[in-house]
Structure 1
């Protein structure tokens, strides 16, 4: 039989030797996915936080099929009606003056596009700054811009990226007050821009809330402080909103939630309604790419563009930003109450349906409960709920609850009930 071991490589093994078999999904509808044995799961991962609208929404499917009948593929040096429609729509909902749009098919290349545009607009610069626990993809350029990848063999040929410290309200340095730590990290950021790198800096690139790096939300003072530093130092600010965009925080964009407008926004995941699409929004005052500087054969894939337009219109029509905000308040209240009973829960994080809990073995030492986190996932599968995990290779100790934004309150409640049950079981079974 075949077992997927990565996105691009397969291996064949005798049945008796296959371990940790992946779930073989055969169908998805709304907040549910189904495996080849007919089992139903509530999908609290929204398939890598991508199905903001819910899986296989008929409006998205119909829009993509209609587009396929018209034109399925067009080279990037041609326009199509759907390209113009989606670009106009993104211009309507974009933060600030971000009216320039570039497309690709996954978030890593979206981050690369943002980096390229930053270097184009700061031609003397040779550096990008990211945050220590930031994550921006697994392509050649973005792997070097992300939190350290174990045994990364590609470092010799990756771009010059410098990681700087960031505040972590749950694990502040030296037990500092979160606001004091925010001020310290801002000072270190500006110090790094001025004299911590060799040559000018093109951009600071950051996730508004760190996803794979630990679901870390910063004090609001940090967001505004980064914007002010970038303005003072003539450095562009890039928000990587691949995970936070399109309603996930209860607003269309995280930049709206934090009231800080970047120069470039990277988007992806939730825009396509399950179809692959990503890209950037850029301030209209920035110089755009010249011919040949940024062009991907399938970068503006018409079925994905049609699916994206239908997705955005459905998010607006169904009031999913407001629903996500309401679900987030409910989930946070439930988890805070659960925290009073379940000692494994060290911290509860939101906002909106960007929800996570950090599991610890001891609330005083905050020792990460990594094995327990993997057990939560495993036992959740047995009870019919797919919870998200943080990082890969067993490095994380977070459980993520990020279902589609249109999940019913009943299903969200059921998912949290299962989480409560498995945490209780794990606590009872531990030595």
Structure 2
């Protein structure tokens, strides 16, 4: 680097290896590329900047810790670890007071799986939901919705996937409650006679993120909890995408009034720094020495950033702001739905807003190409919209900016979306 602060485009000239946008700067809900073009970031960079990019409080906390000590092996305790544990216990639901840390959500998910197996001796089975997504490490890739042409199957752990409710595309035209009860019955059947041997845990996302932003009827969350209790199985909620205010509450478990045994957290907790982990019930037996340890698992800079992030989310009342902005975006989309036939269903809650695109509302035919066009045309007009799944498999557009996005920016992003949908629909006539 030629300067003290950042790389320059001149220093890396000729090294661009793809047609991806090269981002060089971010502030709040805005990012800029290497040509100077500005974008409204409705992805919060993989739903991670709940607080907004480069918040000064987080930056200063990280710099202060960097000056003291940048790396501490997990054999030792540290002041930022103790501070973040204290802060997380203050906001954790129920008695989820045992806390473990990792640097990304996939390893936090694996930590939750390991703890579940440790607390259910002899149980070799883990149950997950179809269309669920828990990461891309070797284990969590196996727990996620099927990936096409997956070359890692021979060495992946096996998970049992069970059906889940999908209110917009319910089976045989069932109403959501009836389908919820059907899927709960199928889950219990899988536990009792669908696997060989006992089940350690059921793991699910409160809202399926990469698998389609699918929210279930409230009865389903309660039902899963009751089934787990009935069979002595642990209930794991993967809140990597839903935690830290995204739903309009600190946790989705609070929103749905259901208490799991383990919460997996990540993304929004670090204020842009890599940080993830689990919250586990006090009654669970914790890991013995050496069973779960990562060289950089207690990265003190990230831990300090995490403390600052949570304090800022609380100080700025971002749960309430997420709820307000989410309601505004949802109402705008519902109004657009009256004019744009591509919009099949609008989904929320909180600032977890999305909509499914269809070419035919009666048949609910997924509009995958049109979804790609929404993203492409949005980029041209300076807005980064989120997509569902990769490789063009999805037909969902996500609007999940930082929770503190200013209303004029959110309004402008929605105006662009309105314009883009009109252009796409005009071209397919």
TM-score > 0.5 by shorter chain: yes
Aligned residue in 2 for 1:29: 27
Aligned residue in 1 for 2:256: 258
Q: Offset of 1:255 from its aligned partner?
A: 0.1
Aligned residue in 2 for 1:354: 352
1: CA distance between counterparts of 2:341 and 2:77?
A: 56
1: CA distance between counterparts of 2:226 and 2:155?
A: 32
| Aligned pair partner of 1:154 in 135, 152, 169 | 152
How do 1:28-427 and structure 2 match up within 5 A? 28-427=26-425
1: CA distance between counterparts of 2:107 and 2:269?
A: 15
CA contact (8 A) 1:272 1:311 kept: yes
How many residues are paired up?
A: 416
2: CA distance between counterparts of 1:300 and 1:374?
A: 39
Partner-residue secondary structure (3-state), 2:360:
coil
Q: Residue deviations 1:252-275, cap 9 Å, x none?
A: 000000000100000000000000
Partner-residue secondary structure (3-state), 2:100:
strand
2: CA distance between counterparts of 1:139 and 1:133?
A: 17
| Unmatched segments (≥5 aa) in structure 1 | 1-13
2: CA distance between counterparts of 1:253 and 1:396?
A: 26
1: CA distance between counterparts of 2:153 and 2:201?
A: 20
Partner-residue secondary structure (3-state), 2:88:
helix
> Cα distance 1:121–1:370, how it changes in 2: closer, same or farther (>3 A)?
same
CA contact (8 A) 1:264 1:281 kept: yes
Partner-residue secondary structure (3-state), 1:205:
strand
Q: Offset of 1:29 from its aligned partner?
A: 0.3
2: CA distance between counterparts of 1:253 and 1:180?
A: 27
Which consecutive aligned stretches of 4+ in structure 1 deviate over 2 angstroms post-superposition?
none
| TM norm structure 1 | 0.95
| Unmatched segments (≥5 aa) in structure 2 | 1-13
CA contact (8 A) 1:82 1:306 kept: yes
Q: Residue deviations 1:355-409, cap 9 Å, x none?
A: 0010000001111000000000000011110000000011010000000000011
2: CA distance between counterparts of 1:398 and 1:300?
A: 36
1: CA distance between counterparts of 2:149 and 2:167?
A: 29
Q: Offset of 1:18 from its aligned partner?
A: 7.5
Q: Residue deviations 1:110-162, cap 9 Å, x none?
A: 10000000000001100000000100000000000000011112222222310
2: CA distance between counterparts of 1:245 and 1:261?
A: 14
CA contact (8 A) 1:126 1:160 kept: no
| TM norm structure 2 | 0.96
Partner-residue secondary structure (3-state), 1:309:
helix
Aligned residue in 1 for 2:10: none
1: CA distance between counterparts of 2:94 and 2:396?
A: 33
